[in-house]
Chains A and B, each alone.
Chain A
Amino acid sequence: MKIDYTKYLYSLIITVAIFATAIFASKFFNNQRVDNVKSIQDNIAINILSIETQFDLLKEVPCSNLDSNILSEELSKIGERLSYLESNRGADDAEVIYLKKYYSLLEIKDYLLTKRLSEKCVNKKIAYVIYIYSNNKNCESCNKQSLVLTAMREKYPELRVYSFDYDLELSALETLKKAYKVPATFPIIIIDDKVISGYMDKDALDSALPASIKSTSTEKVIDKSIKTINKDNKAI
C-alpha cells in the first residue's frame, strides 16, 4: 500500500492544536486566579487604610465602633488561595512571589492595627501568633506545623495567625525579623512576643496560647457536675 504521508502531518497539526488549546485554557484559568487574589488584596488594602484613617481622624473613637474581624477572615481566605497557587505554580513563580509580598505587607499592617486596637480597647484584646517558615531551608516540619496552626484556627476562630516566608525579600519583613531577633531554625512561632523555634504539636501550642483566647473555643466542654433535676426537685 502506498504511504500517505499527509496523514502523519495532519495528525501532528491537530495534536499541536489540542496542546495549544490546553495550554491556553490552563493559562487563562491561572490568570483568573491571580486576578482574584489581587482583587481581594486590593480590597483589604483599602479596608486597612480606612481603619487607620479612622484612628487618625477621630482620636477618641469608641471601641464598639472599631471592628477589624472581617479583615481576619479575608486575610485567611487569601492565605489559603496563595498556598494553592504556590503548590500549583511553584514557589519560584514571579506572580506568586509578588502576591506573597503583597500579602505579607497586608499581614504586617493588620498585625500593627491589631496591636493598636488591643492597646486602646481592653475588651478588644486579640490573640495572635506569628508563624515563620522556609521553603528553601529544608524545613521538614513546616508542613506539619501548618496543619497544627490550621487546627488551632478552627478551634479558636478569633485567633489570628500571621504566616511569613523567611526567604521572601521584603524590607518590612526584614525589620520584623530583626525586631524579634528571629533565628534561622524552622519553624518559628512567636506568641506574646516570645520566640519559639522548632515544631510545636497541638497540645504544646494550645497551652502556649494566651488564656484570653481559650474562652472562644469552638470545642464543646461537657460539665459533669451539672445535675438534672426532675419535677419532684430530686437529682436524677
Chain B
Amino acid sequence: MNNFLATFDTTMNALMYPFLFLSIYFQVFMLSNFFSGRHAMRLENKFSDDFYKNFTFNKNDYIPEVSFLIPAWNESKTLNGTIESVFNLIYPKDKITIYIINDGSTDNTLEIARSYENYDINKNEKGIKVIVLDKENGGKHTALNLALTYVTSELVICLDADSYVDEKALIIATQYFKDESVKGLASCMQIKDTPTWIHKIQRIEYLLSIFWKKSYSNIDAIQVVPGPFSIFRKSVFDELGNYRPAHNAEDLEMTMRMHKHGYKIVNAHRAYVYTVGPDTLKGLIKQRVRWLRGFLDNAWDYREMFFKKKYGHFGLFTLPIAISLIFYVIFAITYAIYKTIIVIYNYYQQFIILGFKFPFSDWKGVDWFYFNTDMMLFLEMFILTVLAFVIFTSKQIAKDERPLLQHMLIYYFLYPFIVPIFAFKAVFGSLFKTKSLWGLQDNKVIAK
C-alpha cells in the first residue's frame, strides 16, 4: 500500500508541473494583453462619471435605438428592480423599447410585467415603451427569439430579469458601436449584494472575470458575451440566425458563432451591470454545472475552431486554454484534497499512537531549515500573487468600494473545495451525455 501511495504521489507531483506551466503561461499572456490595451483604457477613463451624468444629447450624437429583451421565468422578486434600472438609464427615453417575455411563469411575474405595460409614452415622465409577451415555458432562447421577431431597432440588448444596469451603462456601451465593425459588446458584470459566503465567493469570481474579459477583448477573443446586459447589432441575428438551444448556454454559443464568422466583440469595462447570484451552495453548484457543461458541449460542437488561425486568437488560444485549464483545475484541486487527506491521516495516526497533543506544544521556535522551499510552492505563490493583483485591479475598474480581504480569503480557502464538485459533474455529464438541468433558481429546476 505504501509503495502504491509513493508511486501515486510521485506521478501526481510530476503531472503538476506541466499544468503549472500552462497556468503561469495563461496568466503571463493575459497580463500582456491587458497592459497592451492600457492606453485605450486610459482614454476611456478620462470621462468621469459626472460627465455622463450631466450628458446632454445633441441631434448629431450617435444615439441608436435600442430594444431591451428581458426573458423572465418566476422572477417576481427581482423583475421590478430590473425594469426600474432600465427606466433610470441616462438615455433618450424615446429611443428605448423594452420587451418583457414571460416564459410560462407560475408566480406573479406576468402581472408585474403587465403593470409596466400601462406606461404611455405621452402620458408619463418615463416615456419608455414596454411590450409584454406571454408564452408557454420553453427556455430562455425561445423567449429571446420570440422578442427578436418584433425588434426593429439597430441594437438589441439582452438583460436577465435578476440584473440591474447602472444609469451610465447604456450611454457608455452604445458609443462602442460608432465603430461599424463592432457587432457585439460584453459589459462589466458584478455581483450585487454579498450577504452570505456564497455571494462573497461569486463576487471574487466576477472580479476576476472583469480583468480576463478586458484582456481577451484586447485581442478580439472574448470567451463569452454573458446574458445580463449583452448588446448586439440586430443585423447579427439577421445574418447568423437567432438563438439556439445550445445546451442551455445560448449566450456562449452565440459568442462562438460570432467568432466563427469573424464578428468583432468588444468589452465596455465601465458599463456596469449588477446581478443576483445563487444564495445557496446547491444553487451555485447547479449554475456552475450548467455554465461549464454548456461550455464543454458547445466547444465540442465548434471543435473545428480549435488551433485554427483563421478564427484568430479565439481559435488559437481562448478555446484550447479554457479546456486545458478546466482539466488543470480538476487535477490540481483533487491533488490538493488528496494531500490534505494524507496530512489529516498522519495526524490521526499520531493521535492514535501518542494521544492528544496541543498543537505547537513541542514547538522549539522558528527554524528556517523546515521552511517549505519546494519549487512547486514558489510557482503556486506566483499564481496566487497574480490572481490577487488581477482581483485588486478589477476592483479599481469596477469602482467596487466593498472591502476585499475577507472575500478573497473565503474564495482562496473555500472555493477550491466547491470547484471539483461542479467540475466533475459537468465533465461527467458532458462525456456521458447525462440529462441536462437548468438552474435559474436554486429551488426550482426544469428538466430539458
| Nearest CB in chain B: distance from A216 CB, A | 18
Residues of A within 8 A of B309 (CB): 3
Whether A11 pairs with B349 at a CB distance below 8 angstroms is no
**Contact pick for A11, options B25, B264, B316, CB 8 Å:** B25
CB of B108 within 8 A of chain A? no
CB of B414 within 8 A of chain A? no
Whether A3 pairs with B25 at a CB distance below 8 angstroms is no
CB of B379 within 8 A of chain A? yes
Whether A138 pairs with B2 at a CB distance below 8 angstroms is yes
Q: Is the interface of A mostly helix, strand, loop or mixed?
A: helix
**Interface residue ranges, A against B (CB under 8 Å):** 1, 3-4, 7-8, 10-12, 14-15, 18-19, 21-23, 25-26, 29-30, 33, 36, 81, 84, 88, 138, 140, 143-144, 147-148, 151, 154, 201-202
Whether A22 pairs with B369 at a CB distance below 8 angstroms is no
Whether A3 pairs with B312 at a CB distance below 8 angstroms is yes
**Contact pick for A88, options B2, B36, B350, B374, CB 8 Å:** B374
Whether B1 pairs with A140 at a CB distance below 8 angstroms is yes
Residues of B within 8 A of A7 (CB): 29, 32-33, 36, 219
**Contact pick for B349, options A4, A30, A88, A147, CB 8 Å:** A147
Bound complex: CA of A3 vs CA of B219, how far in Å? 8
Bound complex: CA of A144 vs CA of B349, how far in Å? 8
| Nearest CB in chain A: distance from B343 CB, A | 13
Residues of B within 8 A of A18 (CB): 24, 28, 379, 382
Whether A81 pairs with B312 at a CB distance below 8 angstroms is no
Total interface residues on B, CB under 8 Å, equals 33
Whether A19 pairs with B312 at a CB distance below 8 angstroms is no
The 10 closest A-B pairs by CB, nearest first: A29-B373, A26-B375, A22-B378, A11-B29, A1-B220, A15-B25, A11-B28, A22-B375, A14-B28, A147-B353
| Closest chain B residue to A22, Cβ basis | B378
| Nearest CB in chain A: distance from B6 CB, A | 9
CB of B3 within 8 A of chain A? yes
| Closest chain A residue to B373, Cβ basis | A29
| Nearest CB in chain A: distance from B286 CB, A | 35
Whether B25 pairs with A147 at a CB distance below 8 angstroms is no
- Which residues of B (363-389) have their CB < 8 Å from a CB of A? 369-371, 373-375, 378-379, 382
Whether B378 pairs with A26 at a CB distance below 8 angstroms is yes
Residues of B within 8 A of A202 (CB): 353-354
Residues of B within 8 A of A15 (CB): 21, 24-25, 28
Whether B354 pairs with A151 at a CB distance below 8 angstroms is yes
Offer 22 A-B interface pairs, CB within 8 angstroms, sorted by A: A3-B309, A7-B33, A7-B219, A10-B32, A11-B28, A12-B25, A18-B379, A22-B382, A23-B375, A25-B375, A26-B374, A29-B371, A33-B369, A36-B369, A84-B369, A138-B2, A138-B3, A140-B1, A140-B2, A148-B353, A148-B354, A202-B353
